[in-house]
Amino acid sequence: MSEDALIAEAIQARENAVATFSNFKVGSAISTPAGRIFRGCNVENSTLGLTVCAERVALLAALAAGERSFDRIAVITQSEQPSSPCGACRQLLWEFCDDIEVVIANLDGNVRRLRLAELLPEPFVFKAEEK
C-alpha cells in the first residue's frame, strides 16, 4: 500500500476519535506486508489515565485479528507540526513491530518519515518464549 493511501486510512480513522476532553483527534493506520490495513483512533476517558492512543488501537486490532508482521504505521493529527507517538506507543510498537517505518502527518499535508529506532533509540527488550 502506498504511503498516501495509508495516510488516507489514518485520516478516515481520525474521524471516529473520541476526544471529548482534549479535542485533539488522532488517527492511525498500520499495514502488513500482505497489504492488510488496520485503523485506530484515540479514545479518551474521564479518568484520562484510561485514554487509549490511536496507534495502540490500530496495533491491538491487528494483533486481535491474528496479524504478527507489520511494515508501516501512519499517524495523523491536526497539530501544526506532525505529532509522533507517545512513549507507551513507541514501546508497544517496538515489541510487536521492531524497527517499523513511522509516518507522521498533519491535516495540512506535512509529512515526516522516521524509523521507530529514531523515536525509541534504547527500547526495553524482553522476548518471552511463546508456548
3-state secondary structure 51-117: CECHHHHHHHHHHHCCCCCCCEEEEEECCCCCCCCCHHHHHHHHHHHCCCEEEEEECCCCEEEEEHH
Structural contact between residues 40 and 73, judged by C-beta atoms closer than 8 angstroms: no
**For the chain, how long is the longest CA-to-CA vector?**
46
Question: Which amino acids are annotated catalytic?
Answer: 55
Measured on CA atoms in the order 95, 70, 108, 48, is the torsion positive or negative?
Answer: negative
